[in-house]
Structure 1
Amino acid sequence: MRFTSQQRLDDGVLEREFILGEIPGTLWTPPGSAPAPLILMAHNNGLPKAEPRLVARARYCAAYGYAVATIDAAGCGDRPRSAAAEQARADLRRAMRAGEPVDEIFESLVGPLVEAAVPEWRTALDALLALPGIGGPVGYSGWTAVGIRLAAVEPRIAAAGFFAGGYVPRAQREEARQLTVPLLFLLQWDDEGNPRQRALDLFDAFGSEEKTLHANLGGHVGTPWFEVEDGGRFYDRHLRPADGR
């Protein structure tokens, strides 16, 4: 891992850009020298790591006492996109305009993105946990499809928060039954791109004994800010229960 820039923000959080092989990422660490638990903050493919909503959430969590990291998956941000993914996106736009079924197109687009992204996240996790100032445990926040696979195969994930937006491939819908970590599932009731019943069925399928669903009125990008604050309390319970916060 090679850091390419750093800046100390007004709230004392240290923001550092890094490169790990071909993987670009950003790491935010809280003020102070005590080892911090880590939250991996994954965004939907195509939404760059510098997107303002993502950065605001990351900075809040870092100021709250967590190390937070995000990466640009293949085809996201400045990374080149594959011809197959671009064709699938074009097919998806055409089918949606025409009112045609889109499940199989989503499957051909999102399935390969998950397969490519999760190994990169595990590589990044190895490098992040080797850094001074990051001590674990590890939480996950963000893109549901990647989060399900990562929580299913990565034993270092201790808790996960999912945003119920976007398509979840069939493989991840089956893997959801394998999950055992505590889950917080955020659902926008009027999400124009996420059929409500499919999200509710996915929540029902999660195998975790502790799973919480928060539903709010509004569209895809309308998640209330207080859910970020509630998420902080969720991660406190599972990533640092001994410190009394």
Structure 2
Amino acid sequence: MSATTRAVIASRPGGPEVLQIVERLRPVPGEGEMLVRVSAAGINRPDVMQRQGNYPPPPGASDILGLELAGVVESLGSGVRRFKPGNRVMALVHSGAYAEWAVVQEASALPVPDGMSLVEAGAFPETYFTVWSNVFERAGLKPGETLLIHGGTSGIGTTALMLAKAIGAKVIVTAGSPEKCEACLKLGADGAIDYRRQDFVAVSKELTGGCGPDVILDMVGGDYIARNL
């Protein structure tokens, strides 16, 4: 195991041309952390925005890009109980996924199921962890309730759609074109609203018998907040 790791950073704000492969010291896991040999890392909009200089990493994060990864546990810091060396894991990280080696918190990792490749798992945590935390843990969506998803064809949107349908909820989505609406319907949405041509408030009420949705997943904000309410 090398004492260094290759990693990807943005040398300055800009387009893809500012990405550089650099060599850094291999990170060392601390308490509750694991060192993972990275097999795959997902690419998300925050990564692109960070490269452009529009999304600064959180305090204490490194300048190495990447928020999600999958790989094999190499070593453990103190206090790690759920995993052992050789386990396949996927995880969220504050930074550092675009590297050969990364340190991940045990609490932010899950085992990779049998039948799922590490490449598939590398694109799993950011959307699935986010949706589970917000839609099911915070908002408490239950079977039989209705979920309204704004941005239905986004990574978060498609994930929320499929998870909500899997538990038996009704799903309405908004999207920006007839083609995107059709894609959501094919994924199982019960209703799809073209927000460029339709009023999502009126259509959502119509599709729920005047009651409105029980839970709304909104990645738009702005004037949508008042309309959601």
TM-score (norm: length of structure 2): 0.31
